[in-house]
Amino acid sequence: MSEIIELSKEIFSRFGTVKRARNCFLYTAKSVRLTDLYQQGGRAILGWGGSVFTVFKNVLERGITGTYFTDFSSPNGKEKSQLSRAVSDLFGDSRTDFTFSSKQAALEAAISVSAQSTSVYRPWNPQSVDWRSVDCIVFEPTLPWTNDIFVLAVKESLSENLSFKNESFLSSPLCAAVTRSVYDLIKALQEREEKHWFIYDQIITKYWERKGPYLFPKVPESKYADFVLHCLECNLVISPDYNQPSIVPFGADKGNFSKLKNNPFD
């Protein structure tokens, strides 16, 4: 978290506040457009904005924001929630969703159900996995402002009468937005593929090893902090955490990397 705060300070000191965000771009107070390769650690991999915010706003206006069950969230085992249906569609079999405020809590819950068959899901993971065979799947919603929401998808046959002491309750507007983000991800998985990412390889492979859309730094860890700042001077926002991959900016073009190409990092 400290790296993210420091990156935010560096952006502000150079470009002022971020006034608007759209797709893979951040628009700043000094009228400089930054290309976002950090993408909120993957939460914004589908871009900033979109239908999820419209859904959130529409449900919020209904006033159903309390801690009770609605059409968007329902008691496990009684009626399948919209989020559970979305998660089932994502992984190709019948699932029940549980939400947690930390990845550790979600993983601990998953392991308590099936220690031998628990995995963390990352969209466009280059490794081939039949997710229908995995009992418990933990994933982060592709929703930029939900850094404290983690979803555990448990096979329905294992989820009857399950409850976890650290489970979180999502208000209806937020649950609806998370649900929409899952459907948006399903759509994007059908549209985005290798041809959308390799077009940047001529520029980026000097600095990163690309696996699908994910960029793992070749720059030594000892020089990585300087590389982050160098990229920022080139109007590129990359992951401030050496162990958190950057992401190819879907919707950008080669011109967005021209400053880095013309001003290489040594």
pLDDT in tens, 122-160: 999 867 789 999 999 999 999 988 789 999 999 999 988
Judge whether residue 78 has pLDDT over 60: no
Query: Quick one: three-class SS letters along the chain?
Result: CHHHHHHHHHHHHHHCCEEEEEECEEEECCCCEEEECCHHHHCCCCCECCHHHHHHHHHHCCCCCCCCCCCCCCCCCCCCCHHHHHHHHHHCCCEEEEEECCHHHHHHHHHHHCCCCEEECCCCCCCCCCHHHCCEEEECCCCCCCCCCEEEEEEHHHCCCCCCCCEECCCHHHHHHHHHHHHHHHHHHHHCCHHHCHHHHHHHCCCEEEECCEEEECCCHHHHHHHHHHHHHCCEECCCCCCCCEECCCCCCHHHHHHHHHCCCC
Q: Give the pLDDT confidence score for residue 245 in this predicted structure.
A: 96
Which pTM does this prediction carry? 0.91
Judge whether residue 76 has pLDDT over 50: no
Pairing of strands 208-211, 18-22: unpaired
Judge whether residue 225 has pLDDT over 90: yes
